Structure 1
Amino acid sequence: MFDSVPPLALLQRSTGAAHVVLGPRGLVDLAQGGSAKAMLPRMTAGLPEIVFLNTAGGLASGDRLSFAVTLRSGARALATTQTAERAYRAEDAPAQAEVRLTVGENGWLDWLPQETILFDGARLDRETTVDLAPGAGCLLLEMIVLGRLAMGEHPHRLHLRDRRVVQQAGRVVHHDALALDDAALPRLEGAALLNGARCLATLAMIAPHAPDLLARARAALDEPGVTSAASALPGRLVIRCLARDDWPLRRQVNRLLAALRPDPLPRIWQV
């Protein structure tokens, strides 16, 4: 009775959604279901923290995962994930992941998830959208690792559609998209793309004072084994980092976060 495996279409798929609403005085609402959970650890210093967790342990074909944060006017918070997200081999439809972040007037949100590890054959469509009210700002981090270097993994098949869009008062102020597929992977070694890197990170700050931090950000880009660059436009600071290994990349990101923000790093991170 255990000799046969059901077709992929009949296998159970993971679905989860978690939504946290915070006001200046703390938690207003919490909804969670399926594989998505949200925790609010008690903090004695720094911003209030929201920690999201995918109890399914990763994303495979057809899985759907949604995290959402809403900050009321004047609220400030940090949202992160308990561990690295893993996108596993998918032979059918891509996994779907979405992050919805809403920041009320004069509010602030740090969205600092841990890295996403893409295994060989992974298929993932992900969209992160941020809606900022007037006077609100945010800091957004995205880290992607192409296989685990210590395990000798190197993806040869891959589908990734990753998009981050920030709107303020109904106008798009930041749009960042990354697409990878089987045809693109052999070209990543080129100098115009990843130049041999296996790990990449993008840190974007959306706020009127963000360009003023450009010199401070560039001064912090000194981690050996990491190639980085920072640029600023009105209302934006964008930093990109490339590395062959995820630990130097994490150390560089930690150094950047310490330089750009006054609060401690997320307590859940393994530093």
Structure 2
Amino acid sequence: MLNTLEPQPCETDALSPRLQRSTGSARVVMRRKADGTTALADLAQQGCAKAMLPRVHAPVPEVVFLNTAGGVTGGDSLSYRLDLEAGAQATGATQTAERTYRSSAGTGEMRVHLTLGSGARLDWLPQETILFDGSATRRCTEVEMAADATLLWCETLVFGRAAMGEALSRFAFRDDRQVRRDGKLVLWEPLTLDATHLAPRACLGGARAIATVAFLAPDAEAARDTVRRLAPEGVDWAVSAWDGKLVLRAFAPDAQPLKHALAQVLHVLREGASLPRVWQL
């Protein structure tokens, strides 16, 4: 029964055989200073995962994560963590699109953990994840936020490289997204995709790119009608808002028009603030 389902903590697959693979983790802690600005409080990184704080001409700092391995394949393990202490504000992004390559053995694992203290605001805006033919990937994103914190989250998936004429005939992707506000589960999105889901209209309907935008704030519902009116030609999307949440889901035949459409939505939900510099539009 649906009402018996419960989200489970992410577990790493056992890998057999054990091949040489990439492993990395990066953790950043941001703190609000006495003057009201936000600054780096702690940074730890190892392996192929790195984190940078580029110089920006904006009041809100940017935290950029990157995978020096260039992508994720079977057996790889990549972990990012971003913690915002009370009152801190930051924009989190990835330096480039994450690529999931063909897997010869095992499953590539990606984990993201985000925490927002009281009054904090995080705009988590990673660039798109591109799924390659033959890839096998599992990603888990867990968010813990205070009752009065604000989260803006945009996640995009691209199925193959359209410019190279790539069609996906075999892949496996599992994505588990969980948000807890004040300890209560308020958003849970388990997603499992393979090649059989690409064409049917009841699934992806031939879309080459899909995206989800989630905005969690005390007044999130107020933006619903404005966001709905932004829907452009060539991109299908729907918007819902309830209980301090706004969720947008979008489908497009190509990644570029979708990314441009998302930029308009983010401009509104970020109250006119510029997108992260790493976004190339």
Give the drift of 1:10.
5.6
1:47 is aligned to 60
8 Å contact from structure 1 (residues 200, 243) kept in 2: yes
CA deviations on 1:105-145 (whole Å, 9 max, x unpaired) are: 01010100000000001111100000001211201111000
Letter in 1 for 2:20: Q
1:253 aligned to 249, 259, 262, which one?
262
Give the drift of 1:188.
2.7
1:88 aligned to 101, 124, 142, which one?
101
Where does structure 1 differ by over 6 angstroms across 4 or more consecutive aligned residues? none
1:5 is aligned to none
1:165 is aligned to 178
Give the drift of 1:199.
0.5
Over 3 Å counting, the alpha-carbon distance change for 1:190 and 1:72 in structure 2 is same
Over 3 Å counting, the alpha-carbon distance change for 1:10 and 1:96 in structure 2 is closer
Letter in 2 for 1:267: R
Letter in 2 for 1:21: V
1:194 is aligned to 204
Letter in 2 for 1:198: R
Paired with 2:197 and 2:187, the residues of 1 have a C-alpha distance of: 27
| Range with bigger deviation, 140-149 or 37-46 | 37-46
RMSD: 1.2
Task: Report 1:189-228 matches (<5 A).
Answer: 189-222=199-232, 224-228=233-237
Would you say 1:106 and 2:115 are equivalent positions?
A: no
Paired with 2:218 and 2:274, the residues of 1 have a C-alpha distance of: 22
- Secondary structure at the aligned position of 1:258 is classed as helix
Paired with 2:258 and 2:219, the residues of 1 have a C-alpha distance of: 25
Give the drift of 1:47.
1.9
8 Å contact from structure 1 (residues 60, 122) kept in 2: yes
2:11 is aligned to none
- Secondary structure at the aligned position of 1:138 is classed as strand
Give the drift of 1:46.
4.4
2:132 is aligned to 119
Paired with 2:148 and 2:128, the residues of 1 have a C-alpha distance of: 29
1:143 is aligned to 156
8 Å contact from structure 1 (residues 71, 103) kept in 2: yes
Paired with 2:127 and 2:245, the residues of 1 have a C-alpha distance of: 22
1:14 is aligned to 22
CA deviations on 1:159-210 (whole Å, 9 max, x unpaired) are: 11101100011110111121013xxx23432222111111100000111111
Paired with 1:132 and 1:53, the residues of 2 have a C-alpha distance of: 24
| Structure 2: runs of 5+ lacking an equivalent | 1-15, 34-38
8 Å contact from structure 1 (residues 46, 264) kept in 2: no
2:50 aligned to 21, 24, 37, which one?
37
Paired with 1:190 and 1:252, the residues of 2 have a C-alpha distance of: 24
- Secondary structure at the aligned position of 2:148 is classed as coil
Give the drift of 1:45.
1.3
Give the drift of 1:42.
1.4
1:237 is aligned to 246
